[in-house]
């Protein structure tokens, strides 16, 4: 078998360099396409995050709301107790007044 000529080697190497250049161009174009897609995705994620409340904020606000509800329940129970006492006192006062009026009318 004979050795390849210099011109043939140069031709093959030139073709190889052209193919590598083309491969690099294609890879650069693909990288650019992917980066553009990622930039759009990053923007979409930023918009999505702006619409949601962070977990820590949610739990903090939920705990405050739960504490407020507990305070309102305690206040309500206190008011119900006061109402019961006022009702008993009112009934007692009315009974005593009626008894006194009855004694005054019929001595």
Per residue in 72-85, pLDDT (tens digit) is 999 999 999 999 99
Residue 75 domain-assigned (yes or no): no
Per residue in 40-53, pLDDT (tens digit) is 888 888 888 888 88
Confidence of residue 4 (pLDDT cuts 50, 70, 90): confident
Q: Residue 7 belongs to what domain range?
A: 1-52
* Residues 6+ away with beta carbon under 8 Å from 12: 4
What does the pLDDT read at residue 2? Answer: 74
* Number of domains the chain is built from: 1
Residue 101 domain-assigned (yes or no): no
Cα(2)–Cα(12) distance, integer angstroms: 16
Cα(8)–Cα(14) distance, integer angstroms: 10
Residue 87 domain-assigned (yes or no): no
Residue 21 domain-assigned (yes or no): yes
C-alpha Rg value of the chain to the nearest Å: 45
- Judge if pTM exceeds 0.85: no
Q: 49-62 burial string, b = 16+ CB within 10 Å, else e?
A: eeeeeeeeeeeeee
Residue 12 domain-assigned (yes or no): yes
Q: Which residue has the tokens 């008011």?
A: 79
Residue 40 domain-assigned (yes or no): yes
For residues 107 and 91, the model is more confident at 91
Asked if the model's pLDDT at residue 1 lies above 70, the reply is no
Residue 103 domain-assigned (yes or no): no
């Amino acid at each position: 078998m004979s050795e390849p000529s210099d011109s043939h080697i140069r031709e093959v190497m030139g073709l190889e360099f052209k193919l590598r250049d083309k491969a690099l161009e294609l890879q650069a174009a693909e990288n650019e396409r992917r980066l553009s897609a990622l930039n759009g995705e990053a923007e979409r994620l930023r918009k999505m995050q702006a619409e949601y409340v962070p977990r820590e904020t949610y739990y903090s606000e939920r705990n405050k709301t739960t504490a407020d509800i507990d305070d309102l329940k305690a206040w309500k129970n206190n008011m119900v107790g006061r109402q019961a006492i006022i009702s008993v006192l009112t009934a007692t006062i009315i009974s005593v007044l009626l008894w006194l009026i009855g004694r005054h009318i019929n001595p």
